[in-house]
Chains A and B, each alone.
Chain A
Amino acid sequence: MTLDTLGDATARGAVSLRHLTKSFTLNGQPLPVLRNLSLDIRGGESLAIVGPSGCGKTTLLRLLAGLESADGGQVLIDGAPVTGVGTERAVIYQEPRLLPWLTVLENVAFGLEVRGLPRGAARDRARRHVRLVGLSDFETAYPRQLSGGMAQRVGIARALAVQPEILLLDEPLGALDAMTKLTMQEELARIWHEEKVTMILVTHDLEEAIFLADRVLVLSADGTPPAVIPVDLPRPRDRNTGDFVRMRRMLMGRFGLH
């Protein structure tokens, strides 16, 4: 492992979780979701978050996005506390969440226009990102004319177009078929490498976590403290090497799987 693959402490997009606590109320009872979670994520690092359903992965990501506020503790980005959504972050969801009345190009330009870039400039920049995800031939197509994988790529292009320092992904490939998923994992690895962004990725797929992440954060639903597992594998990664398979076996073992 080289220092380069881990990002470095001085790069932009560093995230610190400080004693983060969050609970919801369910049927009048408090439901603790995150208990005193602390973690430092380096700028340019790729972190995967895994854990059983309902353990708070989405909640953590929404706190990072500024769409939800913590009961206690703080999220710091490059040292500054998060108080709401910010231009240095972009979110990619499990569903592409495209606006059905906009074309592919207009959807990709959406974030830029919302942030005040004039229409023409926004479209020009969007065009580059549409090309980056391989959809140049579909610029004028509407979302209903796209396949699931294509739609998800549009969502990714929209997030990349605003040039975030931090990409927050909530099971972005969860709804895709196995083949498309593998292609998209390669795509994400390439984008992460080229754009030098901090990538925080929630996933159910342990192999995906090992393929993409520098470290894996394992959350639990029963109050067991979270664990952070480094993935010491060279890049680009190969799912068939002995080390990769050993890593996967170890991680699956943590969940009692074989």
Chain B
Amino acid sequence: MTLQNLDTPARRARGLPAPPLRAFLSRYSLVIAFLVLWQASGKLGWISPAVLPPLDAILGALWTGIASGALVDDIAISLQRAGLAFGAAVGLGIPLGLLMGQLRPVERALDPILQLFRQTSALALYPVFILLLGLGETSKIFVIFWATLFPTLLATVGGVKQVDRKLIEMAESYGAGRVQVFRRVVLPASVPAIFVGLRLSATTALLLLIAAEMIGANKGIGFQVMNAQYNFQIPLMFAAILLMAALGLAANAVLVLLQRRLCRWSLD
């Protein structure tokens, strides 16, 4: 037991949250330390600022990029690519997953081919997609869609299949038919598992976005990372990387918020 939580039981008993400042510090102190170390190492000359620019230079580059509108275009096109791919993956993955989880024959027929596709790296297939779909937007969105589909699809199938048989039988004993069992038991019971898949898919979409934009793009955050490095605009490169991290965090935060609203029953 640390000194810090010696006085917390009483607070917890009264249902009070920890004071905001302390809660913030206990959660983010390592992040803050990391950022301070980063800033200091550049300023104190531990690492050459040409390789690792101090934070203020990076934030400066970020600000200039956004204020001048140059980075705004990149953000917009990247969001569009990742968003379209993610939307398509979710739009196909959830219904298909529900179907596969419910109907054994559908799952048996589709499972081998999906396993084969899943085990093949999407990046390895990117050249194939380029050959088939050209070097434009379609192949980029498709490769992101491809990699993003599987986490949501497989999590949905898993969620449906692990629904408690006893709950289904309970519903049937009250006379629920297939549709009612699905709507009132299977679907709500699968929601937490589906969200696990959605969060994985969102992460995957951003990972693939960068990779796709590094090959044969002339716009986008991923392109900026490569381009800035090529032109020795190292602060700008880090600014683009920072932007990516922020996008990932924001996407995750939105999904967590949505999950809290939809699955209040499963959370504390």
Chain A residues engaging chain B, CB cutoff 8 angstroms:
65, 67, 85-87, 90-91, 93, 95, 97, 99-102, 110-111, 114-115, 142-144, 162
Cβ A90 vs Cβ B174 within 8 A: yes
**Complex alpha-carbon distance, A67 and B174, angstroms:** 11
Q: How many residues of chain B have a CB within 8 Å of chain A?
A: 20
Chain B positions 147-200 with a Cβ under 8 Å from a chain A Cβ: 166-167, 169-176, 180, 184-185, 188-189, 191
Cβ B174 vs Cβ A144 within 8 A: no
Cβ A93 vs Cβ B265 within 8 A: no
Q: Which of chain B's residues have a CB closer than 8 A to the CB of A115? A: 174-175
Cβ A67 vs Cβ B185 within 8 A: no
Cβ B170 vs Cβ A114 within 8 A: no
Cβ B265 vs Cβ A97 within 8 A: no
Report the minimal beta-carbon distance from B87 to chain A, rounded to whole angstroms: 26
26 A-B pairs with CB atoms under 8 Å apart are A65-B173, A67-B169, A67-B172, A85-B173, A85-B174, A86-B175, A87-B175, A90-B173, A90-B174, A91-B170, A95-B166, A97-B166, A97-B170, A100-B265, A101-B188, A101-B189, A101-B263, A101-B265, A101-B266, A114-B171, A114-B174, A114-B176, A114-B180, A142-B265, A143-B265, A144-B265
Closest B residue to A97 by CB, please name it.
B170
Cβ A114 vs Cβ B175 within 8 A: yes
Cβ B166 vs Cβ A99 within 8 A: no
Chain B residues engaging chain A, CB cutoff 8 angstroms:
166-167, 169-176, 180, 184-185, 188-189, 191, 263-266
Cβ A100 vs Cβ B180 within 8 A: no
Closest A residue to B177 by CB, please name it.
A114
Report the minimal beta-carbon distance from A90 to chain B, rounded to whole angstroms: 7
Q: Which of chain B's residues have a CB closer than 8 A to the CB of A162? A: 174
Report the minimal beta-carbon distance from A53 to chain B, rounded to whole angstroms: 19
**Complex alpha-carbon distance, A111 and B167, angstroms:** 12
Cβ B174 vs Cβ A100 within 8 A: no
**Complex alpha-carbon distance, A258 and B191, angstroms:** 52
Cβ B265 vs Cβ A67 within 8 A: no
Q: Which of chain A's residues have a CB closer than 8 A to the CB of B171? A: 110, 114
**Complex alpha-carbon distance, A131 and B172, angstroms:** 25
Closest A residue to B266 by CB, please name it.
A100
**Complex alpha-carbon distance, A85 and B175, angstroms:** 6
CB-CB under 8 A for A93 and B166, given A100-B265, A114-B175: yes
Cβ B188 vs Cβ A91 within 8 A: no
**Complex alpha-carbon distance, A143 and B266, angstroms:** 10
Q: Which of chain B's residues have a CB closer than 8 A to the CB of A102? A: 265
**Complex alpha-carbon distance, A111 and B176, angstroms:** 9
Q: Which of chain A's residues have a CB closer than 8 A to the CB of B169? A: 67
Q: B172, B180, B188, B263: which contacts A99 (Cβ < 8 A)? A: B188
Cβ B166 vs Cβ A114 within 8 A: no
**Complex alpha-carbon distance, A86 and B175, angstroms:** 7
**Complex alpha-carbon distance, A139 and B189, angstroms:** 21
Inter-chain pairs besides A99-B185, A101-B265, 8 sampled, C-beta below 8 Å: A95-B166, A97-B166, A99-B167, A101-B188, A101-B266, A114-B174, A114-B184, A144-B265
Q: Which of chain B's residues have a CB closer than 8 A to the CB of A100? A: 265-266
Q: Which of chain A's residues have a CB closer than 8 A to the CB of B189? A: 101
Q: Which of chain B's residues have a CB closer than 8 A to the CB of A111? A: 174
